């Protein structure tokens, strides 16, 4: 997102071109890598980004933001840098300090050059090739940090004009970075101010991926007003997943000048399908988009409504982020759900989410609450939140009975069994221990008829 946003200003294309699947090599162990459309850390564990963007280049004094972002549950921060062409250059020493702040707070660092924003439409914006020159000029800060750093070549590298060379320019930029000695996972943004309404990135992603000699590139879509329905969100992301192309939502908000993004669907679909997301942005927005601030004046104790939503809401950062295993030195279980998705072309129903109230626990017990987060003809997605009572617990069991013939087809973050319509969910090894008043959540996809009432859920602590 550029500091002063421009509306997308163009309609979605009606005809979708095919995206073709392709083979990818097994991931390496030197740093981050991608394989079969997924991102892996240096320990070989799948890593799903859950975090936020931070406008470091304009607010370099806000170094406490890294710790504050971590404290709210994030596992990743995307850091705005400048090449010196539109804004003052973040030099080698400053970039090294940013990386050290990420590492000190056990965050994965996605570093991006912002000066490319809107090239071809925005006056003063630079080319991807010029951004590569910047990366190579600070290479000494990056080398040896492959376990902790992902290089996002350039933010939103084309506007809504003259973006036809995006694929060629992006492929050439990747190859030049590789020739220059950078072995990191590379992230690339789409054109059209990052929103790719022309489907230029989507339809050329396989070509760009194969242009990388290391086959270690991930694609980033920015979801603002173009992505205002669940159908648009799931269609775009779903095509990448089907083609086994690595994709994440590198920016999104809950409001925007070019339309209202469907943030709920972005977060629920991403969680259901093991896709990373990075919200825009921590604080400091201007030019009429101050509503995208997650905190008031960088204060983590003063979250805005957007901040509350992305950190503490359904499918939010606090309940879904898992710290990269490179910081613990251990191999945690893989928590991503299966990648099979509900039908991407079916529109969601217009009914609001259905919630069943939690039961009241005894001291030291737990409560469980059920919410339907998305639905479509014949299917739905739901989430159950388990909350400890006045004392810490070491494990939990949630039980419910479907009254309308619903069945569960996929589950994540719990072990679920059933006897007919009666279902039992138990914690997995990483989310059973909860402090007093702490909560965790698990989710699932299911099949349903036209009636799909939320059942009451009981919770037993152990």
d(CA 149, CA 183): 10
Helical ranges in 402-445 per DSSP H = none
User: Phi and psi (nearest 5°) for 443?
Assistant: -140, 170
Mean pLDDT of 135-152: 97
Question: Is it the case that residue 12 has pLDDT exceeding 50?
Answer: no
Beta strands 422-426 and 439-447: pairing type?
unpaired
Mean pLDDT of 256-271: 95
What residues are labeled active site? Answer: 156, 251
The answer to whether the CB of 262 falls within 8 A of the CB of 12 is no
Question: At 439, is the pLDDT very low, low, confident or very high (cuts 50, 70, 90)?
Answer: confident
Among the listed residues 447, 34, 425, the one whose alpha carbon sits nearest the alpha carbon of residue 240: 34
d(CA 41, CA 395): 28
User: Phi and psi (nearest 5°) for 51?
Assistant: -170, -160
Among the listed residues 441, 344, 364, the one whose alpha carbon sits nearest the alpha carbon of residue 398: 441
Question: Is it the case that residue 345 has pLDDT exceeding 70?
Answer: no
Beta strands 108-113 and 76-81: pairing type?
parallel
> Cβ of 223: how many Cβ atoms within 10 Å?
28
The answer to whether the CB of 325 falls within 8 A of the CB of 335 is no
At 247, which helix (H) or strand (E)?
strand 247-252
Put residue 437 in one of left, alpha, beta given phi > 0 → left and psi -120 to 50 → alpha: left
More confident call, 89 vs 430: 89
Reported as a single tens digit per residue, the pLDDT across 50-78 is 999 999 999 999 999 999 999 999 999 99
User: Phi and psi (nearest 5°) for 278?
Assistant: -135, 110
Among the listed residues 75, 80, 145, the one whose alpha carbon sits nearest the alpha carbon of residue 107: 75
Strand 379-388's sheet: what is its strand order?
355-356, 366-376, 379-388, 439-447, 407-412
Reported as a single tens digit per residue, the pLDDT across 211-252 is 999 999 999 999 999 999 999 999 999 999 999 999 999 999
Question: At 16, is the pLDDT very low, low, confident or very high (cuts 50, 70, 90)?
Answer: very low
The answer to whether the CB of 66 falls within 8 A of the CB of 53 is no
CA-based torsion, 424, 428, 429, 435: positive or negative:
negative
242 three-state secondary structure:
helix
pTM of the model: 0.69
Q: How many residues does the chain have?
A: 462
User: Phi and psi (nearest 5°) for 168?
Assistant: -65, -45
């Amino acid at each position: 997102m550029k500091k002063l946003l421009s509306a997308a200003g163009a309609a979605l294309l009606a005809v979708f071109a095919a995206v073709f699947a392709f083979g990818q090599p097994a991931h390496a162990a030197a740093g981050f890598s991608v394989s079969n459309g997924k991102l892996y850390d240096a320990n070989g564990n799948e890593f799903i980004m859950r975090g936020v963007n931070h406008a470091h280049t304009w607010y370099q004094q806000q170094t406490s933001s890294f710790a504050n972002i971590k404290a709210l549950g994030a596992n990743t921060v995307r850091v705005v840098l400048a090449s010196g062409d539109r804004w003052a250059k973040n030099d080698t020493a400053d970039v090294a300090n940013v990386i050290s702040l990420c590492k000190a707070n056990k965050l994965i660092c996605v570093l991006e050059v912002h000066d490319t924003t809107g090239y071809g439409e925005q006056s003063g914006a630079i080319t991807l090739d010029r951004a590569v020159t910047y990366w190579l000029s600070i290479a000494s800060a990056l080398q040896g940090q492959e376990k902790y750093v992902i290089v996002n070549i350039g933010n939103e590298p084309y506007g809504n004009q003259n973006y036809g060379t995006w694929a060629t320019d992006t492929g050439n930029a990747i190859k030049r970075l590789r020739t220059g000695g950078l072995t990191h996972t590379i992230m690339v943004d789409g054109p059209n101010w990052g929103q790719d309404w022309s489907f230029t990135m989507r339809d050329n992603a396989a070509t760009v991926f194969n242009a990388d000699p290391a086959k270690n590139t991930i694609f980033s879509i920015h979801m603002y007003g173009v992505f205002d329905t669940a159908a648009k969100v799931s269609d775009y992301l779903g095509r990448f997943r089907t083609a086994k192309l690595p994709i994440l939502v590198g920016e999104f908000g809950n409001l925007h000048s070019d339309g209202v993004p469907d943030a709920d669907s972005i977060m629920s679909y991403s969680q259901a399908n093991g896709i990373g997301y990075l919200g825009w942005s921590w604080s400091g927005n201007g030019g009429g988009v101050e509503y995208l601030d997650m905190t008031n004046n960088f204060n983590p104790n003063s979250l805005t409504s957007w901040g509350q939503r992305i950190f503490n809401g359904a499918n939010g950062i606090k309940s879904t982020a898992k710290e990269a295993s490179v910081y613990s030195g251990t191999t945690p279980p893989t928590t991503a759900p299966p990648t099979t998705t509900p039908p991407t072309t079916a529109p969601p129903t217009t009914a609001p989410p259905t919630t069943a109230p939690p039961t009241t626990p005894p001291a030291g017990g737990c409560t469980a609450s059920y919410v339907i987060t998305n639905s479509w003809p014949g299917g739905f997605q739901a989430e159950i939140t388990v909350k400890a009572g006045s004392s810490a617990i070491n494990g939990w069991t949630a039980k419910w009975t479907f009254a309308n013939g619903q069945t569960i087809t996929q589950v994540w973050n719990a072990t679920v069994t059933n006897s007919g319509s009666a279902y039992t969910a138990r914690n997995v090894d990483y989310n059973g221990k909860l402090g007093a008043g702490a909560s965790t959540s698990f989710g699932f996809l299911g099949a349903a008829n036209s009636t799909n009432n939320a059942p009451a859920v009981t919770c037993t602590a152990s």
